[in-house]
Amino acid sequence: MSEKWPVQLIRLSRAFTVGAAYYSVINIPSLTSSFVAIFVALLLFDLMVSLERIRGGWEVAKNVVRIVIPHVAGTAMTLVYGLAVGCVFAVLVHLGLPVSLGAILTAGLSYSLAERVPGRTSSTVGIVGGLAVFDKTCKLAASIEFFPEVGPVVVATIYGTFSALVMGWATGLLFGGLTRLFLPRGYRTVTSAAYKQPLMLRPIQEVLDLEENDGVLLTVRVAQDAQAAGSTLEMLELDHKYGARVLRIDRGENKISLPRGDEVLQAEDVLLVYSPKSRRMEVENLFTAASSKIVYQFPQSEVESEPVQNQGE
């Protein structure tokens, strides 16, 4: 029961944050979309609710700023890129570029640039801003007085969009911080775009930055008389010699994820190993039975089917 009321409080506060963010921007002139304010408010709300501590004076305040500022700056830069791209393609439409192509390139390029912004929480804000500017300005493309008319439209759109962004930040910080004051601990929403997913929910290639085309994941069992049995991972030098890594060790009921170098391998351990494809056999041989790798010679009696004659005979 103790875990239910905080979750219900977060849901209620989150819903109230969405409504407050929308209401705070409905009177902003030339607003591109209230979604900008709502989305940013939810991001900041989730960040505040996930804080480990909210009370503690200046140290906690500095920690809040340290967490929030990169997300705020990344979101703002995403929006700047979107608005700039929208303006550029609106001008190109005036110069003869087809409207359909301009819209496609605005959305695509806004997204592509936003993906490169460090600290960004989502590329959606940039796309919304870029398409809003493009939509309003491309309608003036046929006008002879395009540049004198489009200037005020662009300025008003940028003002409205950034105003919505600021109101969203303020709303999310306020209601997220107030909600966190009543919670016994920080709560993180897995589906939120405010932070990356936990490691166990992300693809292992993404977590470890593995090359998809050059590597393979192996599941091997350590044999009783294998070379690796009784050795530490550091002694095996998998990374140095083969470019391989042990990602997990299953030892009965015990699961060891990303084991350290001093971990001693035991017989019957089941390992999840990343190995380059070209070194796969070498890596597997470290964990298989030594007897299975012996090359038996044919019996001498079978090899010498005929006596060897002296050259002098």
CATH numbers and ranges of domains, the chain: 4-181 (no CATH), 199-290 (3.30.70.1450)
Which residues are within 8 A (CB) of 77 and not within 5 positions of it... i.e. 6 or more apart? 117, 120
Q: Indicate the residue type of 59.
A: E
Which range in 149-163, 194-208, 230-244, 298-312 is most confidently predicted, on average pLDDT?
230-244
Q: Residue 21's closest CA among 11, 5, 8, 35? A: 35
Tokens of 165: 């962004």
What percent of the chain has a predicted confidence (pLDDT) above 90? 7
pLDDT of residue 17: 93
Q: Which residue has the tokens 């003036």?
A: 140
Q: What is the pLDDT of residues 78-101, one digit of tens each?
A: 878 887 888 888 778 877 888 888
Distance (Å, rounded) from C-alpha 75 to C-alpha 162?
A: 11
Half-sphere exposure of 9 (CA within 13 A, CB side): 19
Q: What is the pLDDT of residue 13?
A: 93
| pLDDT confidence of residue 1 | 43
Within its chain, how far is the Cα of 262 from the centroid?
30
The chain-wide mean pLDDT, for the chain, equals: 77
Residue length of the chain? 313
Contact 169, 40 (CB under 8 A): yes
Helix (H) or strand (E) holding 4: helix 4-25
As a whole number, mean pLDDT of residues 127-146 equals 69
Instruction: Report whether 94 contacts 146 (CB < 8 A).
Output: yes
147-205: per-residue pLDDT in tens?
Answer: 666 677 777 777 887 888 889 889 998 999 899 888 888 888 766 766 666 555 556 55
Q: Taking Cα atoms as reference points, which of 127, 48, 24, 41 lies closest to residue 81?
A: 127
pTM, full prediction? 0.55
